[in-house]
Structure 1
Amino acid sequence: MSGPRALPQSKEALLKSYRTRLKDDVKSMLENFEEIVKLAKGEHDTQLSRMTQCEQDTYEMHVRAANIVRAGESLMKLVSDIKQYLILNDFPSVNEAITQNSKLFRTKQAECDQKLMSLRDDIAADLYDLEEEYYSSLNK
């Protein structure tokens, strides 16, 4: 698997296992479905009685249908695993979210700093006025 960028060995192995699981499950579903269709034709030249053959075919269809369901569940688990892998290892989108939050918080910090500086200036002006009033009063 040589792509435009080199993946770490563990990621490469994981992606290969995902591909293998996908191919195996789809192949299993296809083979079992084809066998069910063959059984449905009912053209058997066997030494078994017709009723016995019918029961055997019914049982085989049930088993093959169960195999199709198992392969389908395995595919759903594979999709879940891929989604989980993508969510946990999608670093570019995680980094983008962190960058956006960082910008938002820096903006909020700048606003708070601006308000605090304004408040400081107002308090300093009021304190100066109060000190001047105090020191110029006769009732010290």
Structure 2
Amino acid sequence: MAMKWFLTEKIMNKGGGSGPTAAAAAAAAQKQKSLMQRVETDIANIVDNFSQLVNVARLNELPVRNSQEAFTMEMRASRMVQAGDSLLKLVSELKQTAIFAGFASLTDHVEQKTTDFNRHAEKTDRVLARIGEEAAASLKELEALYYSSERRS
């Protein structure tokens, strides 16, 4: 249960500023479901094979029965190794997913910041244009007052 929670948190928490698109969220949810099924299957295989391995591990007097049990034990041990290998591959895949999801999240964050800065730059340009227009109007008014004043002479 703790493993399931950990994997859910690792897959769904990408960090970063902006959220993924609906398609990316659906793909992430599908990938999470697939990975969780693999984890549950592999762990169930390991537990089942281990319990069968322990059950078969008793000694009998019949040589044929002992060789059958030895073969069964080898088969169960082999299946446990395969399930463990599958879990190791899953861990590797999770690491790659985390790395690439981090890059995607970083790219989304950079794009969002770029958009924010462009919006801020446009707002600043509008404010500066308005200040320039007000300064030009004030300058005209001051020139008119200066040229019409008595102190000019």
Structure 1 length as normaliser, TM-score?
0.56
Corresponding letter in the other structure for 2:65: Q
Look up the match of 2:81: 69
Aligned AA for 1:68?
M
Corresponding position: 1:84 with 2:84: no
Aligned position for 2:137: none
CA deviation profile, 1:68-119 (whole Å, cap 9, x unmatched): 0000000000000000000001148735x97xxxxxxxxxxxxxxxxxxxxx
- What is the distance in 2 between the residues matched to 1:65 and 1:56? 14
- Give me the CA root mean square deviation: 3.2
* Residue-by-residue CA offset, 1:43-91 (whole Å, 9 max, x unaligned): 7xxxxx8111000000000010000000000000000000000000114
Name the aligned partner's letter for residue 79 of structure 1: V
Q: Which amino acid aligns with 2:52?
A: E
Identity of aligned residues (%): 30
Instruction: Find out whether 1:29 has 2:29 as its counterpart.
Output: no
Q: What is residue 135 of structure 1 aligned with on the other side?
A: none
Unaligned runs of 5+ in 1: 44-48, 99-140
Name which one, 1 or 2, has greater alpha-carbon Rg.
1
Name the aligned partner's letter for residue 72 of structure 1: G
Aligned residues: 93
Task: Find the aligned partners of 2:39 and 2:106 in 1 and give their Cα distance.
Answer: 27
Structure 2 alignment gaps of length 5 or more: 1-7, 14-18, 111-153
Consecutive aligned runs of 4 or more in structure 1 exceeding 4 Å deviation: 3-7
Name which structure has the greater RCO, CA cutoff 8 Å, separation 6+. Answer: 2
- Work out the CA distance in 2 between the residues paired with 1:17 and 1:84: 16
Name the CA distance, whole Å, in 1 between partners of 2:44 and 2:79: 11
Q: Does 1:17 align with 2:29?
A: no
Of 68, 74, 84, the residue aligned with 1:56 is: 68
CA distance in 1, matches of 2:105, 2:30: 23
Looking at structure 1, the residues matched to 62 and 92 of structure 2 have their Cα atoms a distance apart, in angstroms, of 45
Distance 1:90 1:28 in 2: 32
